[in-house]
């Protein structure tokens, strides 16, 4: 059973860059797409983007100018960087796996527990 675990700072200052890692265990990072999703406190879910184990990416146009998602297969990790953050970026950030091998257009069957990131000075 694959498990995902987010890690990173819980507090980021405005205008700085938010950085999170997601470590995959209990399964292979290869052959799958991996996504980042966020949820502001008390609100709904927003898909940020995804990455294939080969490194190809898809980003939400609403965030594309500020987002970078990378993968490190040797560490079974993928990462999220969001630049120039504001209070509006305060949210729980989740990482997740797409359920179909090689399929970006598939549902998200395994999720990390989430990492709350607060943007505040």
Partner 1 sequence: AIRITQSPSSLSASTGDRVTITCRASQGISSYLAWYQQKPGKAPKLLIYAASTLQSGVPSRFSGSGSGTDFTLTISCLQSEDFATYYCQQYYNSPFTFGPGTTVDIK
> 6 phi and psi, to 5 degrees?
-80, 150
**Nearer Cβ to partner 1, position 73 or 106?**
106
Closest approach of Cβ 67 to partner 1, in Å? 11
> Residue 115: exposed, middle, or buried by beta-carbon count in 10 A (0-12, 13-18, 19+)?
buried
Assess 72 for contact with partner 1 (CB under 8 A). Answer: no
Considering only 58, 68, 73, 83, the residue that binds partner 1 (CB under 8 A) is: 58
Please check whether residue 95 is in contact with residue 35, taking contact to mean a CB–CB distance below 8 angstroms.
yes
Site string for partner 1, 83-102 (x = CB under 8 A): -----------x-x-xx---
Residue whose C-alpha is closest to residue 11's, from 113, 85, 95, 94: 85
Please state, in angstroms and rounded to a whole number, the distance separating the CA atoms of residues 75 and 72. Answer: 6
Instruction: Give the range of 13-21, 55-63, 68-76, 78-86 binding partner 1 by CB under 8 A.
Output: 55-63
Assess 56 for contact with partner 1 (CB under 8 A). Answer: no
């Amino acid at each position: 059973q694959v498990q995902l675990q987010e890690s990173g700072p819980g507090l980021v200052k405005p205008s700085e860059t938010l950085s999170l890692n997601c470590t995959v265990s209990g399964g292979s990072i290869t052959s799958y797409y991996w996504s980042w999703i966020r949820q502001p406190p008390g609100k709904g879910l927003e898909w940020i983007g995804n990455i294939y184990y080969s490194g190809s990416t898809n980003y939400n146009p609403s965030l594309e100018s500020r987002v970078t998602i990378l993968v490190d297969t040797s560490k079974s990790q993928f990462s999220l960087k969001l630049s120039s953050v504001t209070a509006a970026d305060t949210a729980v950030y989740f990482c997740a796996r797409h359920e179909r091998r090689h399929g970006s257009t598939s549902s998200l069957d395994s999720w990390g527990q989430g990492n709350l990131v607060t943007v505040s000075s």
